Amino acid sequence: MTTLLLARHGLTALTGPVLAGRTPGVHLSDEGRRQAEALAGRIAGVRLDAVVSSPLERCVETATAVAADRATAVKTDDRFVECGYGTWTGRPLEELAKEPLWRVVQAHPSAAVFPDGEPLADVQHRAVAAVREWNARLGEKAVYLVCSHGDVIKAIVADALGLHLDQFQRITADPAALTVIRYTPLRPFLLRLNDMGELRLPEDSEEKDGGENITGSDAAVGGGPGTT
């Protein structure tokens, strides 16, 4: 069972009012750096076999805070980069909300193709393919973190839950929040979603006692006792 920790980057000066997209040189704000350090503290007790990041500065800076006290270097993967928003990049969200495409993005995102940019369906395809490849590369006992962007994380979660991409706007990925997915031979399990608390992952012995059956490939009958 491979466990994926998905972290969104911390706040930047553009987070919220402007669609930063792939704009170069967008760094964490002071608050974003505090969020990244807090994220590192929240998962300090979790073993990480790899720390992977979108190549954009705000993600690399967040991932670097996580990797700082660990014997692992941050690896970048272009497949976890922000959606290519094309000519929407750098524009205020208040302005974009008046565009006809905005309603498509909200209600039918699988059909959304940004002008001179990327279809949201392609974002999901590349990100999920990257997750599957990293799972295979690191192995079934691995625990690793990927620092990425809101829409990318939401697309990965939708896939893990078996949701159509058109439902991904029902998922939230806040700055520096953590989402945890465990991939088993049969199906993924969503362990945490948009979590801001301290993370504790169940040990193998706990999984054999309950929460997931001994094969690690299906849900326990009755839901299992859970973990604390």
| Residues with active-site annotation | 9, 82
The Cα 105–Cα 86 span in angstroms is 14
Q: How far lies 57's CA from each of 5, 24, 134, in Å?
A: 19, 8, 21
The Cα 157–Cα 90 span in angstroms is 26
Q: How far lies 42's CA from each of 22, 104, 138, 209, in Å?
A: 28, 37, 23, 26
Largest CA distance in the chain: 53
- What are the residues facing 183 on neighbouring strands? 2, 188
